[in-house]
Amino acid sequence: MTFQRARSEEQREIRRRAILDTTAAMLDQMTVNEVTLNELSRRVGLAKSNVLRYFESREAILLELLDRAWKQWIDRLAERLTTDVDPQGTPRRRGDQLAAALTRSLAPERVLCDLLSSQSGVLEHNVSVEVAARYKRATLDNVTAMAELVRRHLPELGDQAFMVCGATFVLVGALWVHTRPSASALAAYEADPSLAALRLDFATALEELLATQITGALTRTAS
């Protein structure tokens, strides 16, 4: 794919969309850390300097894709919660069902989880204040939208719903990294069975931690 110089706002938007879509396709094939501007430029058919006319850095592109993936996930979550959370259940029961539903919806979302795991340590660096602020506003909107959705099924959470939803993505990012050990760590687990407790399964650990978090939030709200 090659492009001539964009001369209109419509053409510039086409370039931006091509860069985002090409990066998204790369993330289907590789991790966030493996995405480079050089390879992106080659695939999209633009010089690296031209890519940087539309996005100030690799991280700025990935932050925009993270926001897009987050919004798409929230759209799909609504139907899952309606299916998986029994409106007649006790608050504790619905809390456990909520934790299970969130886990089942997040576990297959490899790209979203990988982006979340890189958010604070990588993606929020090498960006301007403007880009950081725009992403933070989008994050606030996404957590708020998720909290409103969660409160429909577990209104007993009250204001704690926002905290639960924000913490969910902190947990996802941290667990995603810890449940993908290095080759050396895997070899250590194999050599020493006593270390097995440290080898976490992403979905199992996430559901347990979310259920514990939700139960604690319900207890705090009730008291």
- Residue-wise pLDDT for 157-167, tens only, equals 999 999 999 99
Task: Give the domain CATH number at 6.
Answer: 1.10.10
Tell me if residue 32 falls in helix, strand or coil: helix
* CA–CA separation, 109 and 19 (whole Å): 21
- pLDDT at res. 223: 78
Q: Do 84 and 141 sit in the same domain of this protein? A: yes
Q: Do 167 and 97 sit in the same domain of this protein? A: yes
- Residue-wise pLDDT for 31-82, tens only, equals 999 999 999 999 999 999 999 999 999 999 999 999 999 999 999 999 999 9
| Percent of the chain residues past pLDDT 90, beyond the cut | 92
Q: Do 121 and 204 sit in the same domain of this protein? A: yes
Q: Do 218 and 203 sit in the same domain of this protein? A: yes
**One-letter amino acid of 113:** C
Burial class (CB within 10 angstroms; exposed 0-12, middle 13-18, buried 19+) of 9: exposed
Tell me if residue 210 falls in helix, strand or coil: helix
Q: Do 109 and 171 sit in the same domain of this protein? A: yes
Confidence grade of residue 154 (pLDDT, cut at 50, 70, 90): very high
**Domain limits at 17?**
1-55
* CA–CA separation, 37 and 141 (whole Å): 29
Confidence grade of residue 11 (pLDDT, cut at 50, 70, 90): confident
- pLDDT at res. 7: 62
Q: Do 113 and 194 sit in the same domain of this protein? A: yes
H or E, element range at 54? helix 48-54
Q: What is the token pair recorded at 179? A: 């449940």
Q: pLDDT at residue 2 above 70?
A: no
- pLDDT at res. 12: 87
CA dihedral 154, 157, 160, 161 (to 10 degrees): 10
